[in-house]
Amino acid sequence: MSGAHLAVRGIAKSFRGLRAVSDVAFDVPGGAIHALIGPNGAGKTTCFNMIAGVFAPDTGDIRLDDRSIAGLRPDQICAAGIGRTFQIVKPFMGLTVEENVTIGALAHTPHVPEARAAARRILHELGLDDRRGVRAANLTLPDRKRLEVARALATGPRLLLLDEVMAGLRPTETDQMVAFLKDLNARTGITILLIEHVMRAVMALSQHIVVLHHGEKIAEGTPQAVTRDPAVLEVYLGQEGH
């Protein structure tokens, strides 16, 4: 399975007259790992939600391998090959870890035993083997984050949208997640777009970074180039002081 090419073309979104995202455009080539960064309220999650189909962009287009997916429902987007995680994790609380991931895997097979086998493979890869029979409600936050990734992966995506999956993880756990995603990308060629505040992870993972501020793209380029960009420094140093 190879990664899909995501092309975001001038998308914009307003909520009750307030511009959340205006005219944002970027590309994520098949098999690449890109990051979307920016201060809180920059419009990152709004961008994600438009790509994932939670709401349609007011203007502009989103294409996956040259097929327009703007305005499709989330389940149609999932079927088109995009898996996503939620910034505030949304596991199926009353169900076990294995059931959670099995539900994801049922996206590409109607047979429950097959889906369950697929779920077990993914849980093994993410080191959640020993949590299989635990109800999601009883998981720790790091485990919930991993479960979120596992469920998204189980749907068999060619593009993975990860919304702050490292937030709240300890440094060693972050490193594990980074290593897992790198390995996943190398093995399967899956395309990854991540929103992340943990810069260590962003620098270690992504080949290309898009920076949003007040809903607009203010810079993009390699991690090295972006971190030297005066506009980016202004936003980060001016606002957050680090």
Query: Where along the sequence are the contacts to other proteins (CB under 8 A)?
Result: 52, 54, 73-75, 78-79, 84, 86, 90-96, 99, 102-104, 106-107, 110-113, 115, 130-135, 138, 151-152, 154-155
Closest CB 136 distance from other proteins, rounded Å: 8
Q: How far is the CB of 47 from other proteins (least distance, A)?
A: 16
Nearer to other proteins, 9 or 135 (CB): 135
Looking at beta carbons only, is 6 or 226 nearer to other proteins?
6
Q: Tokens 């327009």 identify what position?
A: 68
* Shortest CB 85 distance to other proteins, Å: 9
Amino acid at 71: G
Token output for 153 = 């992966």
Closer to other proteins at the Cβ: 140 or 222? 140
Long-range interactions of 169-175: CB distance < 8 A, separation 24+ = 169/142, 169/145, 169/198, 170/142, 171/200, 173/142, 174/198, 174/200, 174/201
With H, G, I as helix, E, B as strand and everything else as coil, classify residue 167: coil
The tokens for 154 are 């189980």
CA distance 220 to 209: 5
Supply the minimum distance, in Å, between the C-beta of residue 148 and other proteins: 9
Nearby residues of 242 by Cβ (< 8 Å), 6 or more positions away: 236
| Shortest Cβ 151–other proteins spacing (Å) | 6
Q: Which lies closer to other proteins via its Cβ, residue 39 or residue 142?
A: 142
Report residue 124 as tokens: 């093994």
Residue placing its CB nearer to other proteins in the complex, 25 or 80 = 80
